Copies of this chain bind each other. A is one copy, B any other.
Amino acid sequence: MTDDRLARAALSRLAEPGDRLVHALLTEHGAAATLERVRRGSGRLARFAERVRRLDVDRDLSTAAKVGARLVVPGDDEWPERLADLAIPPWCLWVRGPADLASATRRSVAVVGSRLSTAYGEQLAADLAAGVTQRGWTVISGAAFGIDGAAHRGALAVDGVTVAALAGGVDRPYPSGHARLIDRIAETGAVLSEVAPGSAPMRTRFLQRNRLIAAMAKGTVVVEADLRSGSLNTLGTAVELGRPVGVFPGPVTSMTSAGCHAKIRSGMATLVTGTAEVLDLVGDIGADACEEPRGEERPTDGLAPDDAKVHDGLPHRAWVDLAEVCNASALAPMQAMAALARLVELGLAERRDGSWRKANRRAG
């Protein structure tokens, strides 16, 4: 293994994701020299002393090997190129699963939301995940309870590739209740983390993990989110990165949609109601564009103004003469007669003995 790879593996144990100082050093001196400085621990790097004392990269690599995880670093073919958009990209990624990360994330949607989801939101997340997966897109999420889990399951249900980003080590399925789900994701897709194997999931790591999800995906969709949901943080990153962001509305009486509604109100996110609109939002213009929803067409749609006036004034049952038609429509006899003839022709009016009424459409 090259010094760069080993150094990045070590840094993923020593420095928290998003550490500004380590990022600055990495950018200037490269991974190996940065690791050397962190080890020496002078000045502001002294804070890493306890972690340096406990560092054992071989142990971390062997832990990764035991769960079949590999190390992916910038420059590898598999490195997702969108990560370069982050102010502070991951030092490396620990990845379980057969999916090639670069190809899997190229056309991908992050589907995230509240852990405290409702059956409504879970159904939407699963349907959306299945829908985008069937159109060749990858679903990225965080394997959490609630919406995340529903999204992964929806993708797996249609034999899709799905990617889960964890806040702790790639060998530590979290939440443990989703250990089986995470294994299933790793069987066909990818489970990844930017912190070293064995690392505990901590609150700040969840926030960093959320930024990772937003950065890997072409666009982000929030299905249900209360006002404090971490998924709004994911959405915030996607907005900062200039990525398309959609949220599903829900009943205003549901607190798990309150965060979604707030983001629509503030103009941060586009309201979406299903797969077609999501792909319209995140997809390639043309290839994935959807049509605007339209109501059911009525036979009277598109009638000329005079014809509409006459049709509007005709009774359903009673028969009326021309004077009544003129009175109801405020048209002169010639115009009313012409309109009546067109309506009869279109099957929208019936004539009998110089009287008219609306056509009985059931009989017609």
Q: Which residues of A contact B (CB under 8 A)?
A: 14-16, 19, 46-51, 54, 120, 123-124, 200, 202-204, 226-228, 248-253, 257-259, 261-262, 264-266, 270-274, 277, 292-296, 298, 308-309, 312-313, 323, 326-328, 330-332, 335
Contacts and interface: CB of A to CB of B under 8 A. Distances in A.
A140 B251 CA distance: 24
A326 B47 contact: yes
Given A250-B251, A251-B251, A295-B227, A328 B265 contact: no
Contact of A203 (B50, B273, B312): B312
Contacts of A251: 120, 249-251
Best-surrounded residue of A226, A253, A271, A335 (most CB of chain B within 10 A): A271
Given A15-B330, A328-B202, A264 B262 contact: no
Nearest to A253: B120
Contacts of A331: 47
Nearest to A225: B295
B50 A326 contact: yes
A264 B253 contact: no
23 contacts: A15-B330, A47-B326, A47-B330, A47-B331, A48-B330, A49-B332, A50-B323, A120-B251, A202-B313, A226-B295, A227-B293, A228-B295, A249-B249, A249-B250, A249-B252, A249-B261, A250-B250, A252-B273, A252-B274, A258-B293, A264-B264, A265-B270, A266-B292
A293 B203 CA distance: 23
Contacts of A312: 202-204
B252 A332 contact: no
B271 A249 contact: yes
Contacts of A15: 330
A277 B265 contact: yes
B50 A262 contact: no
Copies held by the complex: 2
3 A-B pairs closest in CB distance: A227-B295, A228-B295, A249-B249
A345 to B, nearest CB: 20
A184 B123 CA distance: 43
Contact of A227 (B226, B271, B294): B294
A257 B249 CA distance: 10
A277 to B, nearest CB: 7
A284 to B, nearest CB: 19
Contacts of A309: 16, 204
Nearest to A252: B273
Contacts of A14: 330
B248 A273 contact: no
Contacts of A294: 227
Most buried by B among A123, A251, A323: A251
Given A48-B330, A249-B249, A249-B250, 14 more contacts: A14-B330, A47-B335, A49-B326, A50-B323, A51-B330, A54-B327, A124-B252, A203-B312, A227-B293, A227-B294, A249-B261, A249-B271, A259-B295, A265-B277
Most B-side CB within 10 Å, residue of A249, A258, A266, A313: A249
A200 B315 CA distance: 11
Contacts of A51: 326-327, 330
A54 B324 CA distance: 10
A312 B206 CA distance: 11
A259 B356 CA distance: 35
A289 B166 CA distance: 41
Contacts of A227: 293-296
